[in-house]
Amino acid sequence: MTVGETHQAIEATFRIERARLVAGLARLVRDIDRAEELAQDALVIALSEWPRTGVPANPGAWLMTTAKRRAIDAIRRDKMRERKHEEIARALDGAAEAIEASMTDDPGDELLGLIFTACHPVLSPDARAALTLRVVGGLTTDEIARAFLSSEATIAQRIVRAKKTIGKAGLSFEAPRGAERAARLSSVLEVIYLIFNEGYAATAGDDLVRPSLCLEAQRLGRVLAGLMPEDAEVFGLLALMEIQASRLPARTGPDGAVVPLTEQNRARWDQLLIRRGLDAMARADALGGDGPYALQAALAACHARARTAADTDWPRIAALYDRLRTVAASPVVDLNRAIAHSMAFGPEAGLRLLDEIAAAAALRNYAPLPAARGDFLFRAGRLAEARRQFEAAAKLTRNAREAAFLLARADACG
Amino acid sequence: MRVMVMVKATEDSEKGAVAPPEMFEAMGRFNEELVNAGVLLAADGLTPSSKGKRVAFDGASRTVIDGPFAETRELVAGFWLWEVKDMDEAVAWVKRCPNPMPGPSEIEIRPLFDMAEFAETLTPEFKEGRERLREKLSDKLGPAGAFGGLGT
């Protein structure tokens, strides 16, 4: 034990333990706010005691026990006040016993339960993302607001409403099992990838990328992989994020401008993350991964393995997209497939595929569609048409950097 | 931010002494906690310096020196790369590490240069030269040849 711990050090330890602490408490009191209050109470006690006694050998267990004892005390105080109401008293007795019994529960399972609850499909994706970043990621409301270019008030409200919705739905904070787990996992993975994408290809604002959001999503993905080591898609998503994140240092030019994948300086790709991504993909493969995230990871790995853009195995990428659209059909996947086919088999092949999907409602205001068409037309030598497409794309994007890039491509059409 | 966390050598590690099973298990559990927290990026152990070499630079001269090297406490015996929020978190994690050696030992924590902050201190010409060098290395050695951000 170390004595004389500073408050700063104690708070750092608390931050490490916070998510699991809140998870275990939420399982008991079935209320995130109450769980967060109890966690905070435990921190206050730690701040007053640990400078004297030193940090305990197992700080997480100490905090959990302290917080749970306070929960019991509160229940007993309520019970004494409600002494006349026998039913309530019996129910509260049961709750206190449950808490005592839970002292030995598996903290990993509790954290998984919290993750599944914060990502419950009863909440909108935005609400899930904000709540997950808050209670699982430990980000402050302000940090989340800045990450999503929103106001602190908006995010705070979003989180308050999310907690209320969870309360009203009577969710148990248990991790689902069996078929229900498989069904609900997709909404967890969706949230983590949403957070990652907001950092990787910011949909609005002046900066193309916000790396700290990617880091947060990668961390959540790693935590989830530790909690669900038998799930191929969990490793698939992790692999996808690690490999995509490896390209962050190359995605923006010195002035913050967009650099497309085929023009990136690959010497700037983070090889450590590529290795981690390929390792995660190997785990997904070993688990039989053929789901959408595993396939997208395989796509990202194709690029990661190519020393130069010219070395890219585009036919393999086209084949992977052909498979992806059978497991995760979407207009966006179709668009990316068209791009892959154009790179593998020529711009006319891409244009033919685009014609098949151009009517899709989901792609109506989607900048990458005219951008892709513009690229195919440019490469096919149809410059006037290409220019019109790039200009249309520039109007559709909300990201300033992307718009500048598209207008530059329009100019290059002459 | 990324940190390199280095276990410094001791006479025991330099002798190539093998850690007892309890120490392996305890370190294994610690590494598992780091993995499960999403903090661990990489980890490896270094063989004793008797297996190593040094190359001394002085102007144009290059001198190869065989290990072992004398200043035991300054040698690196093992390292981790972690992704943490700040140094406070790094220190908090290091304090949880089981004793890496049978006797007293030290673990050193060094933040890595972030390419973004590094870039501000370099002239455009230097940056350009560094970029060309990276490309050449990448060509010769493959993607793994690009050097990391430890200030080289």
- Give the pLDDT confidence of A151-205 residue by residue, as tens digits: 999 999 999 999 999 999 999 899 999 899 988 999 999 999 999 998 887 655 6
Measure Cα distances from A184 to A118, A119, A168, A179, A191 in Å.
11, 9, 19, 9, 11
Q: Is the pLDDT of residue A76 over 90?
A: no
Q: Is the pLDDT higher at A365 or at A203? A: A365
Given this model, what pLDDT does residue A83 score? 60
- Tally of helices (H runs) and strands (E runs) in chain B: 5, 6
Which of A223, A265, A268 is opposite residue B37, by nearest beta carbon?
Answer: A223
Residue of A10, A11, A13 to mutate when probing chain B, most B C-beta within 10 A: A13
**Chain B residues closer than 8 Å to A242 by CB:** none
In a domain, A243, yes or no: no
pLDDT, chain A, mean: 90
Under-70 pLDDT residues of chain B: 115-152
Sequence-distant (6+) residues with CB within 8 A of B98 are B23, B26, B27, B29, B30
Name residue B79's beta-bridge partners: B6, B44
Q: Is the pLDDT of residue A260 over 90?
A: no
Given this model, what pLDDT does residue B118 score? 45
Given this model, what pLDDT does residue B111 score? 97
In a domain, A80, yes or no: yes
Structural domain boundaries enclosing B52 = 2-112
Let me know whether A124 and A216 are in one domain.
Answer: yes
- The Cα A167–Cα B100 span in angstroms is 46
Query: How many domains does one find in chain B?
Result: 2
Sequence-distant (6+) residues with CB within 8 A of B28 are none
Task: Check CB contact under 8 Å for A12 and B91.
Answer: yes
Mean pLDDT (whole number) for A123-143: 95
pLDDT band at A364 (very low <50, low <70, confident <90, very high): confident
Given this model, what pLDDT does residue A36 score? 96
Given this model, what pLDDT does residue B148 score? 31
pLDDT band at A91 (very low <50, low <70, confident <90, very high): low
Mean pLDDT (whole number) for A395-399: 88
Structural domain boundaries enclosing A173 = 106-222
Let me know whether B29 and B86 are in one domain.
Answer: yes
Let me know whether B39 and B81 are in one domain.
Answer: yes
- The Cα B118–Cα B99 span in angstroms is 34
pLDDT, tens digit (0-9, with 9 covering 90-100), for A269-281: 999 999 999 999 9
Write down the pTM of the prediction: 0.84
Which of A85, A105, A125 lies at the terminal end of a domain, its last residue?
Answer: A105
pLDDT, tens digit (0-9, with 9 covering 90-100), for B117-126: 444 444 455 5
Let me know whether A138 and A64 are in one domain.
Answer: no
Let me know whether B73 and B122 are in one domain.
Answer: no
CA B51-B56-B58 angle, to 5 degrees, is 175
Given this model, what pLDDT does residue B18 score? 86
Residue of B2, B31, B89, B95 to mutate when probing chain A, most A C-beta within 10 A: B95
Query: Which two three-digit tokens encode residue A65?
Result: 């026990």
Dihedral-angle region of residue A361 (phi above 0 means left; psi in -120 to 50 means alpha; beta otherwise): alpha
In a domain, A54, yes or no: yes
Which of A220, A221, A272 is opposite residue B42, by nearest beta carbon?
Answer: A272
- The Cα A141–Cα A134 span in angstroms is 7
Query: How many domains does one find in chain A?
Result: 2
pLDDT, tens digit (0-9, with 9 covering 90-100), for A327-343: 988 888 999 999 999 99
Sign of CA dihedral A91, A92, A95, A101: negative
Given this model, what pLDDT does residue B131 score? 56
Task: Check CB contact under 8 Å for A12 and B89.
Answer: yes
Let me know whether B66 and B96 are in one domain.
Answer: yes
Let me know whether A112 and A213 are in one domain.
Answer: yes
Q: Torsion over CA of A40, A45, A47 and A53, rounded to 10 degrees? A: -150
Burial A275-303 (b: 16+ CB within 10 A, else e): bbbbebbebbbebebebbbbbbbbbbbbb
In a domain, A298, yes or no: no
Q: Is the pLDDT of residue A122 over 70?
A: yes
Let me know whether B106 and B44 are in one domain.
Answer: yes
Let me know whether B132 and B90 are in one domain.
Answer: no
Of the candidates B33, B113, B30, the one whose C-alpha atom is nearest the C-alpha of residue B78 is B30
pLDDT band at A106 (very low <50, low <70, confident <90, very high): confident
Let me know whether B99 and B126 are in one domain.
Answer: no
Q: Is the pLDDT higher at A360 or at B69? A: B69
Sequence-distant (6+) residues with CB within 8 A of A371 are A389, A390, A393, A406, A409
